[in-house]
Chain A
Amino acid sequence: MAASAFLQAVHLSKVIKSQIILKDINLSLNKGYIYGFRGKNGSGKTMLFRALCGLIRPTEGKVIIDGAELGKEMSFPPSVGVLIEHPGFLNGYTGFGNLKLLAKLNDVIDDDRIREAIRLVGLDPNDKRKYRKYSLGMKQRLGIAQAIMEEPDLIILDEPTNALDSDGVEELKNLLLTLKAKNKCILIASHDKEELDYLSDELFVMENGKIIDHYSCKVTDDE
Chain B
Amino acid sequence: MSRLFFRDVIYSVSYGKIKYLAFFAIAACLTIMKSVEIKPFSANSIDVMFLMLQDNGTIRRAADYQVPFYWEFIQFFPLILIGDFLHQDESSNRTYLLLRCRSKIRYMIAKIGWMTWQSGWLFILLFFLIYVLSSLILGDFSLGSSSYFQQQIMPMMEAKASPASLFVHMFIGFVVTTMVLSALQLLCIQFISPIATLFIMICLCSLSTFSSSKWLPAIHSMILKRNFFDTAHHLTLGFSVAYSLLVYVLACVFAIYAFVKKDIL
Chain B binder among A60-68, A85-93, A162-170, A184-192: A85-93
**Bound Cα distance A86, B91 (Å):** 10
Interface residue from A57, A84, A87 paired with B263 (Cβ < 8 Å): A57
**Bound Cα distance A106, B4 (Å):** 9
B91 touches A53 (CB 8 A): no
List of B residues within 8 angstroms of A90 by Cβ: 11, 14-15
**Bound Cα distance A88, B263 (Å):** 20
List of B residues within 8 angstroms of A85 by Cβ: 92, 95
List of A residues within 8 angstroms of B96 by Cβ: 82, 87, 102, 146
B151 at the interface (CB under 8 A from A): no
A88 touches B91 (CB 8 A): yes
B103 at the interface (CB under 8 A from A): yes
B17 at the interface (CB under 8 A from A): yes
B60 at the interface (CB under 8 A from A): no
Interface string of B69-109 (1 = CB under 8 A from A): 00000000000000000001101110111111111100000
B7 at the interface (CB under 8 A from A): yes
Q: How many residues of A contact B (CB 8 A)?
A: 29
**Bound Cα distance A130, B12 (Å):** 17
Interface string of A1-44 (1 = CB under 8 A from B): 00000000000000010000000000000000000000000000
**Bound Cα distance A57, B93 (Å):** 19
Smallest beta-carbon distance A207→chain B, Å: 20
Q: Which secondary structure dominates where chain A touches chain B?
A: loop
Chain B binder among A73-81, A121-129, A215-223: A73-81
**Bound Cα distance A116, B92 (Å):** 25
**Which residue on A lies nearest to B104, using beta carbons?**
A75
A55 touches B101 (CB 8 A): no
B264 at the interface (CB under 8 A from A): yes
User: A16-B263, A55-B98 in contact; A101/B92 too (CB < 8 A)?
Assistant: no
**Bound Cα distance A16, B91 (Å):** 19
List of A residues within 8 angstroms of B97 by Cβ: 105
List of A residues within 8 angstroms of B11 by Cβ: 90, 101
A105 touches B88 (CB 8 A): no
Smallest beta-carbon distance A12→chain B, Å: 14
> Which B134-153 residues sit within 8 Å CB-CB of chain A?
none
A88 touches B88 (CB 8 A): yes
Smallest beta-carbon distance B2→chain A, Å: 10
Smallest beta-carbon distance B12→chain A, Å: 10
A87 touches B92 (CB 8 A): yes
Smallest beta-carbon distance A21→chain B, Å: 10
B89 touches A88 (CB 8 A): yes
B61 at the interface (CB under 8 A from A): no
**Which residue on B lies nearest to A47, using beta carbons?**
B265
B21 at the interface (CB under 8 A from A): no
**Which residue on A lies nearest to B92, using beta carbons?**
A88
B3 touches A104 (CB 8 A): yes
Cross-chain pairs A/B with CB under 8 angstroms, 26 sampled: A16-B263, A50-B265, A53-B95, A55-B99, A55-B263, A56-B263, A56-B264, A57-B263, A75-B103, A75-B104, A76-B98, A76-B102, A77-B99, A80-B99, A81-B99, A85-B92, A85-B95, A86-B92, A87-B92, A87-B93, A88-B88, A90-B11, A102-B96, A104-B6, A105-B101, A107-B3
Q: Which 10 A-B pairs have CB atoms at the shortest separation, nearest pair first?
A: A88-B92, A55-B264, A56-B263, A105-B100, A76-B102, A88-B93, A90-B14, A87-B96, A105-B3, A92-B14
In the complex, given contacts A76-B103, A90-B15, what are 7 additional A-B residue pairs having Cβ atoms less than 8 angstroms apart?
Answer: A76-B98, A76-B99, A85-B92, A85-B95, A88-B93, A102-B96, A107-B3
Chain B residues close to A by CB (< 8 Å): 3-4, 6-7, 10-11, 14-15, 17, 88-89, 91-93, 95-104, 263-265
Chain A residues close to B by CB (< 8 Å): 16, 50, 53, 55-57, 74-78, 80-82, 84-88, 90, 92-93, 101-102, 104-107, 146
